[in-house]
Amino acid sequence: VNQADGLVIENLQLQQMLDYLNEKDIRSVYVYGMENFVFLRECSRVEHLKIELRLSFREFSKLKKRRSGNLEKEYDISPLYNLKNIRGLSIINNEEPFIIPKMKLDLSKLPTLEYICIDDCFIENLSEAKNLRSAWVNYYHKEDFQELSSLE
């Protein structure tokens, strides 16, 4: 019997997708092009999450303009802290080059996290991710790897 083990979530028929996710006990989720992650509060059993940041064109007019002329989009990713079983997390910045995404993910609040792929500018407390086994940190800008020395 073929059984789904992952689900792509977009902003279309969101409640129906969440019901299906929970009914089928799906543990891997790919979120595309969404700006609000409150729905993750209903996905407590998710173990693997991939988020691709990509705003729709209709959202551009709501963005804050920076002095550089670029647009800034602030993401609230605090609902991720409700994912008590999260083992793998990937957040991919696939925004247009003139959109600067802003967010901070506090890794100390995700104690079960084992694998991560994320831009350095999005993370806090990397040294507190005690169960981390694999980290792909894009654009790591520290001069040394001292903050990684506390990881096993």
For the entire predicted model, the pTM comes to: 0.83
Phi, psi dihedrals of residue 31, rounded to the nearest 5°: -105, 125
On average, the pLDDT of the chain sits at: 84
Mean pLDDT (whole number) for 108-121: 92
Tokens linked to 146: 């001292």
Tell whether the model's pLDDT for residue 2 goes beyond 70: no
Q: How far apart are CA 99 and CA 70, in angstroms?
A: 6
Q: pLDDT digit string (tens) for 6-29?
A: 777 766 688 888 898 889 899 999
- Provide the β-strand partners of residue 76: 36
Residue-level pLDDT at 68:
73
Mean pLDDT (whole number) for 113-134: 89
Q: Which of 129, 117, 128, 124 is nearest to 30 (CA)?
A: 117
Residue-level pLDDT at 149:
65
Tokens linked to 121: 């500018």
66 close to 72: Cβ distance less than 8 angstroms: yes
Amino acid found at 15: Q
Q: pLDDT digit string (tens) for 39-81?
A: 999 888 999 999 998 877 667 677 777 777 788 888 899 999 9
Tell whether the model's pLDDT for residue 137 goes beyond 80: yes
